[in-house]
Amino acid sequence: MIGSLDQIFIRAKQLLLAPLGGAPDWVMQIASSLINIFALLGVFLTLFALISVLERKILGRMQNRYGPNRVGPFGLFQPVADGIKMLIKEDIVPTRADKIVHFLAPILIAATAVLALGVIPYGRNMTPFAIDSGILFFFAVGSTTELAVFMAGWGSNNKFSMLGAMRAIAQMISYELPLIITVLPVVMVVGALSPDRIVAAQGGYAFGFAPCWFVFTPWGAAAFILFFVSGLVESNRTPFDVPEGESEIVAGHMTEYSGFKYATFFMAEYIGMFAISGLGITLFLGGWHAPMRGLEFIPSYLWFFAKLSALLFVYIWLRGTLPRTRVDQIMNFAWKFMLPMAFTCVIAAAVWHYAGRGFAGWLWSLGVIAVVYFILSIFLETRKKFAPRTYRFAE
């Protein structure tokens, strides 16, 4: 009974493919791929609609005010109203804009986000497109986001759009380096670029009850924090949403977009957030594995989406808590702290591995990370660097 619930979607797909039993292999492959694509789109577009209303409700609760509560029961039909509004809003394109580039930018950024979802294992035997180099594919596809942002800024023929695009590209490239480097320890320890093998390496329980997730190692915990912060920047989420600083550059690279094109950017941001969170779960939080042996009866895909929900709540929590940071603070933090700490995680993972992956290796790994952290804290004088500025005005 437990196994049938866990594999219910796999069996549903097999039932859909059953009428094509006598068809050539290439027809079966195309049909199987199409089923995976439509399933991905259905699940994550629904999740996007749900999180768009839940985020406003959670932020309203945090700020002691009402969230959406007028459209439908408890305001749950608010995403439908938003979608209708975006569809019927006038699509305005600047006269001197590069209309082709302006049109293609939101399509490219949305397609990039959706493609990145295809290599993540959502449950046991539930990887839509199992690729041996899935991690490499994820970052190769994700790197085209910068191109789409540049296209939006350049194609709009607007100074605010161009400045916003340059800001976005600068911070995305700066934080993409620590994002990728924090993945290297996991790849080194597992010896594979396959997300399925990485999840499999985190199976089992130490001492019979403690999950063998990489986040419970010193290098894994540090790498996960760095990965999460870099993911915030890549998703343009608070406190790193500098490209959309309303008081400075209107809406950044999206300034000249309206209607459904603007909604596409909005959707791509959330789907990118789902993708980067899903990858973090795969790399550090055991993927679809249960946190306790006694809870393995719960279907694996429910564990994955429970972890995803927890990370998304943290994203929303940070948005309702932290103010927007300055551009110089963001860039200083990336190059002077995040990058050295990311390389430190690689060294700490190597120490943990060659020390036998036992308690001694755990302590040595923790020591490496702690020493570098304290050296950076002293060397960078963080209290002075991040202190409030004193503005002096001419009399």
pLDDT in tens, 1-47: 556 788 888 888 888 888 887 778 888 888 888 999 999 999 999 99
Calculate mean pLDDT across residues 351-362: 89
| Per-residue model confidence (pLDDT) at position 394 | 57
Phi and psi (nearest 5°) for 211?
Answer: -65, 145
364, 218 in Cβ contact below 8 A? no
Calculate mean pLDDT across residues 280-289: 93
Q: How far is CA 348 from the centre of its chain?
A: 24
| Per-residue model confidence (pLDDT) at position 2 | 57
Of 81-95, 128-142, 282-296, the least confident? 81-95
Calculate mean pLDDT across residues 113-123: 92
Higher-confidence residue: 86 or 245? 86
Distance CA 288, CA 305 (A): 8
Calculate mean pLDDT across residues 285-291: 91
Calculate mean pLDDT across residues 197-224: 90
Strand, coil or helix: 345:
helix
Of 60-69, 163-172, 214-223, 384-393, the least confident? 384-393
Q: How many residues does the chain have?
A: 395
| Per-residue model confidence (pLDDT) at position 260 | 86
| Per-residue model confidence (pLDDT) at position 213 | 93
Strand, coil or helix: 187:
helix
Distance CA 181, CA 334 (A): 12
204: left (phi over 0), alpha (psi -120 to 50) or beta: left
For the chain, percent of residues with pLDDT exceeding 90: 43
The total of other beta-carbon atoms located within 10 Å of residue 375's CB is: 12
Token output for 114: 């959706």
pLDDT over threshold 60, residue 320? yes
For the chain, percent of residues with pLDDT exceeding 70: 93
Find which of 235-239, 258-262, 315-319 is predicted with most confidence, using mean pLDDT: 315-319
Residues 6+ apart with CB under 8 A from 233: 171, 172, 174, 175, 240, 330, 334
| Per-residue model confidence (pLDDT) at position 16 | 87
Helix 259-284 and helix 300-319, axial crossing angle in degrees, nearest 10: 120
Distance CA 341, CA 372 (A): 7
